[in-house]
Chains A and B, each alone.
Chain A
Amino acid sequence: MRLTLKIWRQAGPDQPGQLVDYQLDNANEHMSFLEMLDVLNQQLIEKGEDPVTFEHDCREGICGSCGFMINGLAHGQEKGTTVCQLHMRHFQDGDTVVLEPFRADAFPILKDLMVDRGGLDRIIEAGGFISARTGSAPDAHSVLVPKDDADRAFDAAACIGCGACVAACPNGSAMLFTSAKVTHLGSLPQGSPEHTQRVLRMVNTHDEMGFGACSNHGECE
């Protein structure tokens, strides 16, 4: 499979960047998208060029490290699939693929396709927790949680913190991320005492970090 890749190259946070064209002749349909980039990088290194920097770790779609824009879509075109789980069989021989970093002022670019998503951590630090000191917990069965509540909490808690919602949102808003955590903790009886405070503090920090407001565009989901 032959591909033309247009990749955003940027040496550092305050450096100018641009899309650079690369030809890759030996991709194949069994590779994952990141393995395809690995192959490109090996070739660049052998040619004495700087390999493309991108963040990744688990390559199983769970750690949330990976993520960039593929042809204008966060994590590419497959719904519910992170870049590391995207496979090349969804592309065709001869395709041109544009790779850009997630763009938001709250996510400064560190290098090439790698951005700093620390703003999301600040939101959690502001209130995304239940204050329960280690060792103070009562028996796990002392509070029963209806299955539906537990399931709702789980669905919200499954957020992997990848930041794709921010990247996709026309407003650069992290409201989906924020509300996921609020819903997770708020759906559980353990989490309700701190609920109001949590919401205020998390939303405040969300705004302070420079994320945009949500206007329910629905791109983030």
Chain B
Amino acid sequence: MVQTLNGNVPQGPIDKLWDEHRFNMKLVNPANKRKYKVIVVGTGLGGGAAAATLAQLGYQVECFSFHDTPRRAHSIAAQGGINAAKSYPGDGDSIYRLFYDTVKGGDYRSREANVYRLAQISNNIIDQCVALGVPFAREYSGYLANRSFGGAQVSRTFYARGQTGQQLLLGAYSALARQIALGQVNMHTRKELLDIVVIDNRCHGIVVRDLVTGAVERHSGDAVVMATGGYGNVFYLSTNAMNSNVSATWRAHKRGALFANPCYTQIHPTCIPVSGDYQSKLTLMSESLRNDGRVWVPKQAGDSRKPSDIPEGERDYYLERRYPSFGNLVPRDVASRAAKERCDAGFGVGDTGRAVLLDFASAIQRDGEDAIRARYGNLFQMYERITGDDPYKVPMRIYPAVHYTMGGLWVDYNLQSNVNGLFVLGEANFSDHGANRLGASALMQGLADGYFVIPYTLGNFLADVSPADRVADDASEFQAVEKDVNDRIEQMLSVGGKRTVDSFHRELGLTMWDKVGMARNEAGLKEAIATIKTLRDEFWSDVCVPGKANELNQELEKAGRVADFLEFGELLAYDALQRDESCGGHFREEHQTEEGEAKRNDDDYAYVAAWEFKGVGETPELHKEDLEFEYVQLKQRSYK
């Protein structure tokens, strides 16, 4: 049976919705605010901005992160930039255009009202970040600089060299640090959320493990805000940080929160290729490189000559060939699949044959080496540091890698999950990007959620809650969850098998990448589901987790995360199987246009698929939120 879901979007014209909604929401009496205890998990752009702002408003915030300091959240790694509809360059941008581009970029699988709000708020974000001292790039005039990013036809991306995420996060971190010093935020570092406590579909708190001592602790609050990032590491190799995980959202899912669109995963076209089976992660080379680099492979399959020895006439600039108008700047999913297509057909370069070339020779000839150095110096340096090759002389070798996950816990317009009192922000929710995220819009979403949405919508929720009714953290429900957590830890430690946690993770990743990666088909997905089930069973009978529970034990931490990936991977594949169309980052080989582009099926699949957990290995139950498009017209994307 399929349930329908309501996104709680207020009624009215889209450009007034958020303002009117803010006015209609209830307020918490300022004198009472300090009596409320809000739990925030995660200190990335979403969580960090939320914790700082909620604390400024006067709530008592308990903030958690498994990192040693809030500043290390994975948002730190974002390179390219953050979008906003400021239209400073005067090149025709507007809130409406940003909204339109984002819905279109998401291949018409997102909620219009959310995206519109995001575009509106984008401007406030830039103001706020500048006020906090974020050193965005500037022109000689002292005005902020903008660039075009990820195929956008206007320059709306603000950036701080190749370290935008770092600077934005440090801004949020500094605001958070101030609240920590003021005592408004109680910061719990090196504590990993291992479960949440839900009583009658209402979230009352969390259970965490102190990663230094191993102690398991219970924390209760009037609301829980989760901003724990994306699940890209289910593929083992991805551009995500090593410790990024699905555990927090997965545990919430197992306690009743719906997981939406897990199959929407984004593959980034320009990453440094895999070099061997010891590889632990993949490194992103910013998309901006495609502004000046030309992508090619040899015309002859298996050509093993050095790139410089291959004459111009024997090179296939396949993006320029296939997409004459966008050329090297086609969106990420299109560029990624085109690279895979060439490599699958045997044209790939390098030892593994799983790489294509990104060549700067003509840009260097045109603009000079110094100009290229000024634009990409730090990226070229990073490339050289990792590969030992000098990109000023030889073309870069690149290959697509998993980068971002659009799916996440289902939330309504207020960012509240279907579990009352559980709010989800940032990459951890599914909200704004539909089936594909445009470049420079994840940072925008994380900060929008944290700085400008949750402070209002959480207040509206808390206005109906009395701090006096808070469930004590030693209530029997809390103790029951704590026991579950301890039991699971004991279980992992007591398997006493032979295989390391990493070996399971790597194997899971290979299956996910081959069968549930850039291109998917029914048979492959079914195989993947079967493989994952087997692997999971093997994990629980043959994993080797050394050490003890009550100590700093990194293998135990990893084991818990991998165990969750082994359950979650199945849901991801299942969702991909169910979505019998291609859209954005989800490409089903059965559904493509003659040119090999994703072919949507708007009649049957214009909905959000939100899954309800029914038990490990059991078929999950589908809840549908229908997507209606009042403002944006559904079109087949074309980048020709």
- Of the candidate stretches B273-281, B398-406, B487-495, the one touching chain A is B273-281
A58 to B49, CA, bound (A): 21
Contact B68 A12 (CB under 8 A): no
Contact A129 B175 (CB under 8 A): yes
B142 close to chain A: CB less than 8 A: yes
Q: Which of A62, A129, A140, A147 contacts B174 (CB 8 A)?
A: A129
A117-B68 in contact given A45-B500, A138-B131, A153-B133 (Cβ < 8 Å): yes
Contact A185 B133 (CB under 8 A): yes
A158 to B76, CA, bound (A): 11
B114 close to chain A: CB less than 8 A: no
Bitwise interface map of B from 257 to 293 toward A, beta carbon under 8 Å scored 1, else 0:
0000000000000000001101111011000000000
- Of the candidate stretches B7-15, B160-168, B248-256, the one touching chain A is B160-168
B306 close to chain A: CB less than 8 A: no
A212 close to chain B: CB less than 8 A: no
A141 close to chain B: CB less than 8 A: yes
- Of the candidate stretches B546-554, B592-600, B631-639, the one touching chain A is B546-554
A51 close to chain B: CB less than 8 A: yes
Contact A157 B241 (CB under 8 A): no
A196 close to chain B: CB less than 8 A: no
Contact B67 A57 (CB under 8 A): yes
A207 close to chain B: CB less than 8 A: no
Bitwise interface map of A from 46 to 77 toward B, beta carbon under 8 Å scored 1, else 0:
10111101011111111111000000000000
Contact A129 B177 (CB under 8 A): yes
A190 close to chain B: CB less than 8 A: yes
Contact A58 B77 (CB under 8 A): yes
Q: Which residue of A lies closest to B52 (CB)?
A: A134
A44 shortest CB reach to chain B, Å? 8
Contact B502 A85 (CB under 8 A): no
A51-B554 in contact given A124-B174, A153-B135 (Cβ < 8 Å): yes
Q: Which of A128, A147, A157 contacts B138 (CB 8 A)?
A: A147
What's the A-B contact tally at a CB cutoff of 8 Å?
Answer: 205
A62 shortest CB reach to chain B, Å? 5
- Of the candidate stretches B99-107, B216-224, B380-388, B532-540, the one touching chain A is B380-388
- Chain B residues whose CB sits within 8 angstroms of the CB of A110 once the complex forms: 212, 552
Q: Which residue of B lies closest to A161 (CB)?
A: B71
A125 to B176, CA, bound (A): 8
Contact B67 A65 (CB under 8 A): yes
Contact A134 B175 (CB under 8 A): yes
Interface residues of B in 84-142 (CB under 8 A from A): 86, 88, 124, 126-133, 135-142
Contact A131 B178 (CB under 8 A): yes
Contact B276 A30 (CB under 8 A): yes
- Chain B residues whose CB sits within 8 angstroms of the CB of A62 once the complex forms: 76-77, 163, 166
- Chain B residues whose CB sits within 8 angstroms of the CB of A57 once the complex forms: 67, 72, 74, 241-243
A28 close to chain B: CB less than 8 A: yes
B461 close to chain A: CB less than 8 A: no
A129-B452 in contact given A35-B279, A144-B143 (Cβ < 8 Å): no
A216 shortest CB reach to chain B, Å? 26
- Chain B residues whose CB sits within 8 angstroms of the CB of A50 once the complex forms: 546-547
Q: Which residue of B lies closest to A28 (CB)?
A: B276
Contact A58 B74 (CB under 8 A): yes
B509 close to chain A: CB less than 8 A: no
Total B residues in contact with A, Cβ cutoff 8 Å: 78
Contact B178 A61 (CB under 8 A): no
A39 close to chain B: CB less than 8 A: yes
Bitwise interface map of B from 383 to 396 toward A, beta carbon under 8 Å scored 1, else 0:
00110100000000
Contact A139 B77 (CB under 8 A): no
Contact B178 A125 (CB under 8 A): yes
Contact A31 B278 (CB under 8 A): yes
A184-B546 in contact given A56-B242, A57-B243 (Cβ < 8 Å): no
A35 shortest CB reach to chain B, Å? 5
Contact A121 B552 (CB under 8 A): no
A31 to B167, CA, bound (A): 29
Q: Which residue of A lies closest to B283 (CB)?
A: A60
Contact A158 B386 (CB under 8 A): no
A111 close to chain B: CB less than 8 A: yes
A24 to B565, CA, bound (A): 30
Contact A64 B71 (CB under 8 A): yes
A43 shortest CB reach to chain B, Å? 9
Interface residues of B in 138-171 (CB under 8 A from A): 138-144, 160-161, 163, 166-167, 170
Q: Which residue of B lies closest to A131 (CB)?
A: B178
Bitwise interface map of B from 64 to 84 toward A, beta carbon under 8 Å scored 1, else 0:
000111111010110000000
Contact B77 A87 (CB under 8 A): no
Q: Which residue of A lies closest to B72 (CB)?
A: A63
- Chain B residues whose CB sits within 8 angstroms of the CB of A87 once the complex forms: 385-386, 388
A117 to B502, CA, bound (A): 27
Contact A118 B181 (CB under 8 A): no
B510 close to chain A: CB less than 8 A: no
Contact A130 B132 (CB under 8 A): yes
A118-B69 in contact given A130-B174, A138-B131, A154-B161 (Cβ < 8 Å): yes
Contact B385 A138 (CB under 8 A): no
B451 close to chain A: CB less than 8 A: yes
A185 shortest CB reach to chain B, Å? 5
B56 close to chain A: CB less than 8 A: yes
B37 shortest CB reach to chain A, Å? 20
Contact B502 A42 (CB under 8 A): yes
- Chain B residues whose CB sits within 8 angstroms of the CB of A161 once the complex forms: 69, 71-72
A51 to B559, CA, bound (A): 14
Q: Which residue of B lies closest to A123 (CB)?
A: B177
- Chain A residues whose CB sits within 8 angstroms of the CB of B68 once the complex forms: 55, 65, 116-118
A188 close to chain B: CB less than 8 A: yes
Q: Which residue of A lies closest to B127 (CB)?
A: A137
A139 shortest CB reach to chain B, Å? 6
- Chain A residues whose CB sits within 8 angstroms of the CB of B128 once the complex forms: 132, 134-135, 137
Contact B546 A51 (CB under 8 A): yes
Bitwise interface map of A from 69 to 105 toward B, beta carbon under 8 Å scored 1, else 0:
0000000001001000101010000000000000000
A146 to B401, CA, bound (A): 38
A42-B140 in contact given A57-B241, A130-B131, A131-B178 (Cβ < 8 Å): no
A-B residue pairs in contact (CB < 8 Å), sample of 17: A35-B278, A55-B68, A60-B283, A61-B382, A63-B72, A65-B68, A78-B385, A85-B386, A124-B177, A130-B174, A133-B56, A146-B142, A147-B139, A151-B135, A154-B137, A184-B133, A191-B133
Which A residues are within 8 Å of any B CB, using their own CB? 11-12, 28, 30-32, 34-35, 38-39, 42, 45-46, 48-51, 53, 55-65, 78, 81, 85, 87, 89, 110-111, 114, 116-118, 120-121, 124-126, 128-141, 143-147, 150-151, 153-154, 157-158, 160-161, 184-185, 188, 190-191
With A81-B385, A141-B144, A185-B133 known, 13 other A-B pairs at CB within 8 A are A30-B275, A45-B500, A50-B547, A59-B283, A63-B74, A63-B77, A65-B72, A129-B177, A134-B56, A150-B137, A157-B170, A160-B166, A184-B135
Which B residues are within 8 Å of any A CB, using their own CB? 49, 52-53, 56, 67-72, 74, 76-77, 86, 88, 124, 126-133, 135-144, 160-161, 163, 166-167, 170, 173-175, 177-178, 180-181, 189, 212, 241-243, 275-276, 278-281, 283-284, 382, 385-386, 388, 451-452, 455, 498, 500, 502-503, 544, 546-547, 551-552, 554-555
Closest 9 interchain pairs by CB? A144-B142, A137-B131, A129-B174, A132-B131, A154-B135, A137-B127, A153-B135, A125-B181, A140-B130
